[in-house]
Amino acid sequence: MKRAAALAVFLAAAASAAFGDPLEQARRRWAESPHGEMLERILPPTVAPERLPEPQSAGARLLVRYCVQCHHLPNPAMHEARRWPPVVERMVLRMRGKGNLGPLMADLMAGVASPSDEEKAQLLAYLRRHALAPLDPRRVPEVAAPSAEAFRLACSQCHALPDPARYRAEEWPRVVARMQENMEWMNRVIGTQPARGEPQLRVADILAFLSRYARREPRAR
C-alpha cells in the first residue's frame, strides 16, 4: 500500500513537472485578465493532462501548451474526428488574434502563443486519433425511435451521439453523471424536476437505451 501511494505521488510530481508550467501560466493569465471569468467558463474542467490519451506524446503536449491558454483542457473525445479540423482551424485563427470578435478578439488573445503549421498538423492528428466514436444509426436503428429521444436530446447539445458500445452497461452511469456535471457547467439542459414547457434530462431513459447497446466484453488492455 505504501509503495503504491509513493508511486502515485511520484507520478503526480512527474506530471506536474511535465505539464505544470503551461497550466500555471494559464491560471495567472486568467487571474490577471479582465476576461478571466469568461475564459474559465468556456469549457468544464473535465480532464487533467496526465489523464489524456498518450499523455507523453507530442500531440498531448501541444494540446496542453496551447489550448489551456484560453480555456480548460479539452478532451479529444469531445468531438468526432470529422469535427476537429474546423474547430482547430477556428481556434488557431483566434490564437493569432483573428476571428469574429474584431478588436475584442485581439484583446482576448494578447500574449497568447499560437502553434506553427507543423504543430497544428500534429495537434489535429492527435485529436482525430482519439476523437469520439459516433453512433452508427445503421447498427442501432432504435436511435431514431421515441425510446431514444432523451438520449438524442441530451447528448446532441454538446457533441455527436456517442456509440453505446464504447462502455459496458455498468460503466455508463458514471459517464452520464460526469456529463450532467459538464452540462451544468456549460448551462445546458439538466433539469430533473418537472417544469411545464421545459425539456427534461431523463437519466433513467438515457441509461436504459445505453445499456441495451453497451459493450458486452471487458475492455481490452
The dihedral built from the CA positions of residue 16, 62, 37 and 87, taken in this order, carries a sign that is negative
**Matching residue, cell 505504501:** 2
Q: Kindly report, residue by residue over 65-103, the tens digit of the pLDDT.
A: 999 888 889 999 999 999 999 999 999 988 887 777 666
All three cell numbers of 125, joined, read 492528428
Give this prediction's pTM: 0.74
Residue type, 162: P
Instruction: Give me the pLDDT at residue 194, please.
Output: 53
Q: Kindly report, residue by residue over 14-61, the tens digit of the pLDDT.
A: 344 444 567 777 777 777 777 767 777 778 888 889 999 999 999 999
* Res. 2: pLDDT tops 50: no
